[in-house]
A and B are shown apart, each in its own frame.
Chain A
Amino acid sequence: MTLGTDNVAASAARSPSSERVHDEFMALTPAAREQREEKLRRILRDDGTTHHAGAIAERSSRAWDLDLLPAVIDAERWAPIEAGLVERAELFNLILADLYGERTLLRDGVLPPEALLIHPGFLRPCDGVRHPGTQQLFLQAVDLLERSDGVYVAAADQTQVPRGIGYALENRTVLSRVVPKIFRRANVLRLSPFFASLRQTLQNLAPELDEPHVVLLSPGPTDATYFEHAFLANYLGLPLVQSGDIVVRDGDVWMKALDGLSRIDVILRQVRDWACDPLELQSDSFLGVPGLLHAARQGRVLLANPIGAGALENPALQRYLPAIGRHFLGREPALESIPTYWCGEADDLALVTGQLEQLVVLPIDHRRDEAPVLYPATMTADERDALRARITHRPEAFAAQRLPDRAGCRQLADDPGAGAQAITRTFCVATGSSFAVLPGGLSRRVPGSERPLDPERWSNRDTWVVSAKPLVPTASPFLDRQGRFKLVDRTPLPSRVVENLFWMGRYAERAESALRLLRTLFLTLNGPDPMPRDVRDALLLAVTRVTGTRPGFEGDGALLEDPDEELLAVVLDARRSGSVRANLAALLAAADDTKELLSSDMLRVLNDIEDANEALGAALTGGLASAPEEALDPLVTALLALAGLTQESMIRGVGWRFMELGRRLERSLQLLALCRSLLIRPLPDGHEEEALQALFLTLEMLITYRRRYRGRVELPQGFELLLIDRSNPRSLLFQLEALQGHLDELPRVGVDTRELQPEQRAALDAITTLRISPLVTLGETDADGTRVELAQLLERLRDRILTIGTVVSERYFEHREGPQLLVPTVWEGE
């Protein structure tokens, strides 16, 4: 049986290799298969593999949907496909160079001008922009369909931002873990040589440089395939940058790093053509970098793919590929395209309007990156007539394709998707003189065959190209020619990433301290001994102040009477700044922006935080009636795991330092807010002891305190533990000294002095002030019943810590002014 037929009678054609793989999958018991599918889903979730709204902070993102069963193809059948793909990529490379160069295709009448010029992917500002050497095209994705005669044909090409390459790698990684034995025995051709080529070619794009600085440019976490960008950046060891991290200056392209500008030589681009440069591409979007196209024009930076490569996605090109092949290569390409018509040709127009319902219609003159596909077969007769009229009115604006009537990847007998069509997307990467093809790719099953090109409806499979013979092991792409590990961590981090790590630390700490205080409150509210009203009120006020959810309990006295609703809001209301949910959302968003730096354990913990955050709503639906503190525990644990991983698994680089800085800064501020709320005006009648107990419980100091001082909670012993005990990782002094340590290690560019910098001075001042304050004096109250000395101390410390935060953020983080266009954007269409 060949790929694409699920008829058992055809199994004679099935070769032993794919047969064997098939049998092995069939040999799995339903339970074993279920268990593996479960494992597969778990791994995908842990890796944060998502598509669409991509961001882990947003639940609207769709988990990547991978089938346990791969599509399998024999190496002997793959070889001619591979050769065809190489030829196609070489041809597309020639076309690209021609379209933005001499345009012999138009001049010599191979391609009607309208067929090229009407397509929005042909960007006139890119005219004359060339990479040195003959290779212009770096990466091409080709979607293959299998015809009923078993021949693979190309349906479409992606050249602006070929998508799916990271997912293909992820699919393979996951599947090889889930079914390791089957995978090992199947002799599946490895993907890693392809990625090694990809990395090598990126390095070689700037031939005059020994170690060109290569980055991956992404639109950011809002992009549907951001997962893939982070995954690729991580795998290839490239800094993941966004447009705001890049600036064009003096003709060169620079990354804004913490210690200044760092020159970029090569950009692996994941931003679509039109969005790359708002100056020249008339974009109203600011995903791009002003001046980037001119830098490419001047040869100061190399973009892979070059801007303008989207012209190759024009479906009308496929209509002329045989002629183009004859023009450039003297022969028609071996890999056929599916039959494609361009209505600018009179014959094609007649055929398309005559057989509309058998075709899919591809408007060429669409806006920027819409590229709609119309399915006349699914239309009413009236809709078809209307479409026919549109086509006849402007024929040059329409292409059409005839899909093979049966297409499918290998169907297993008990496969619920049997009968579905399938498309295999594979990739070609430039190798210097030619192209290398990914042996495999994404096979996507399309349930039902009505709208087969609609990616929304695809589920996906890994594609295994299997060899009859065992494979020779290949070197890891992380090893260079001498077999040594390459240093990939020498490139500086964009300052945006560092800033996000700083905020990750801060938000994590904010969420944690709010949770801790709330947990204490819930415990004591429902405890065996009723809490005195004044203690309870003091704790509620502390909640408002520590979380910064003013007015809260400070405002409305009625809330103090019946605090449940407000307490729930402080946990659950994500729209309320300072709430637990809002802090967690901000934490996850900041994590998204640093995703390529986070280890897989870290991503898993972030997933746990997200899940616990999700679960919170359900756990608290009954209000605070029954053990609400239990609902908070999983989140506290997950946040502690994050803190633990930060300590145990993060390289002590600048990123770690900023994350820790953020955490210490925030913990100091929270501690000060707690002390201010509970200690400045001591409660009468021994109620202060209860307040202190609550404070110590919140800070996980209660056990230590009881053991150490054996008895009543009293000041100034309490102050000692809370404020100046170096052995207590939650004491104020501990935070301040940690802060000081991090500040001393920050990179200082252009500072050539032993003099302390303002933030160091502030830290030293805070530490000294704290240490020279006699604890007894701090405990004294004035006639008013206020601990004046303590209040002054806390105020001064707060001021110094805020100074540190301001100075650090002003010195190290960029304060972006948004770009604007001098001339209003020219509208397109009316």
Chain B
Amino acid sequence: MNYRITHETVYRYADDVARCFNRAYLLPRHTDRQQCLDARVHVSPTPPSIDEYQDYFANRVTQFAIHQRHRELSITAESNVVMREPNLSASLDIGLTCAEVLSRLRSDRDAATLAAREFLLPSPMIRPRDEFGAYAAPCFAPDRPFLAACRDFSEKIFEEFRYDPGFTTVATPVRAVLEHRRGVCQDFAHLAIACLRALGYAARYVSGYLETLPPPGKEKLIGADATHAWFSVYSPGEGWTEFDPTNNKPAGLQHIVTAEGRDYSDVTPVSGVIFGGGDSHQLDVAVTVARTSGAPIETRRRS
């Protein structure tokens, strides 16, 4: 399946910005199931240069600065990707048990497992709390196949939490999400990661896009898509497997990855420091995920 993604971010400031320094995670990274054919970022006003490099987590970072007065900053990323089905789809019920995963995470010495141990640890937005482990524990019986348990756990979040865009902000703590049983994709991903880490599993945050399809017979609207987030778990020897608790399914062809990290703070789509700008700004984000080849898939989603 081939997609073209357009992700436009516009900041409108109350007052002139004298200069700004920005960082963006907008370009799709390479993964096992995804290849980025080409991608570029346009910025207006045009900065003297736009640098791209790979960060610690092998994500693609874009960095630029503007020293020209402006009231409006627009950042547009355009990329073309080829998606493949994830390797395992029906095999979640076989494979390592939860107990085996826990033990091998500590004993295996291969590079992938050592690297995965990063994602056992607390991270800036996900601090350990006892209630996280308590919430998830029933899904992870020691002899249960680990990936099946993860699928059940993802479903548990889907069933027990309300999708409520009005409830949380980027700064809502995970414990509040658990307490009130509501949030958006980012919150559900954070919650799942917090719970998995509390039980001793390696879990990371995935940020990206999900293709949405219009109701039958209607044209797809430009900019109707949005950024999305889900989580990924590690099983020694089996690698990383992604689950989308917001839509209750493993990540598939329609889940396009931009970046992976310990939590949202590692992969914030656009961040920056501005000088001036007054005391408020308006932020508009428009995302379009368009198919450039491949058969349509029927789907409903939320992000």
Contact = CB atoms under 8 A, between A and B. Distances in A.
B95 interface: no
Contacts of B277: 820
Interface in A68-105: none
Interface string A142-164: 00000000000000000000000
Given A114-B121, A294-B51, A830-B127, A109 B109 contact: yes
Contacts of A822: 11, 20, 22, 270-274, 281
A829 B127 contact: yes
Contact of A826 (B18, B117, B171): B171
Contacts of A818: 275
Contacts of A824: 169-171
A118 interface: yes
Nearest to A127: B56
A511 to B, nearest CB: 34
Nearest to B269: A823
Main SS at interface, chain A: loop
Contacts of A829: 127
A107 B112 CA distance: 10
A280 B274 CA distance: 13
Interface residues of A, number: 42
A292 to B, nearest CB: 10
Contact of B18 (A114, A365, A817): A817
A343 B55 CA distance: 30
Interface string A291-331: 10010011000000000000000000000000000000000
Nearest to B122: A365
B159 to A, nearest CB: 26
The contact size tier of chain B is 35 or more
B129 interface: yes
A314 to B, nearest CB: 14
Contacts of B55: 124-125, 127
A249 interface: yes
Nearest to B57: A124
Nearest to A251: B49
A125 B54 CA distance: 10
Given A279-B21, A280-B23, A291-B21, A817 B171 contact: no
Interface in B1-34: 11, 18-23
A114 B170 CA distance: 27
Interface in B89-129: 109, 111, 114-115, 117-118, 120-122, 124-125, 127-129
Contact of B265 (A114, A282, A290): A282
A117 interface: yes
A685 interface: no
29 contacts: A107-B111, A109-B114, A114-B120, A114-B121, A248-B65, A251-B51, A279-B21, A282-B265, A290-B65, A290-B273, A291-B21, A365-B122, A394-B128, A817-B18, A817-B275, A819-B274, A819-B275, A820-B273, A820-B277, A822-B22, A822-B274, A823-B170, A823-B271, A824-B169, A824-B171, A826-B125, A826-B170, A828-B127, A830-B175
Interface of A: 106-107, 109, 113-114, 117-118, 124-125, 127-128, 247-251, 278-280, 282, 290-291, 294, 297-298, 365, 394, 396, 816-824, 826-830
Given A124-B55, A279-B273, 9 more contacts: A114-B121, A124-B56, A127-B55, A128-B54, A250-B67, A279-B23, A294-B51, A822-B22, A824-B169
Interface of B: 11, 18-23, 48-49, 51, 53-57, 63, 65, 67, 109, 111, 114-115, 117-118, 120-122, 124-125, 127-129, 169-171, 173, 175, 264-266, 268, 270-277, 281
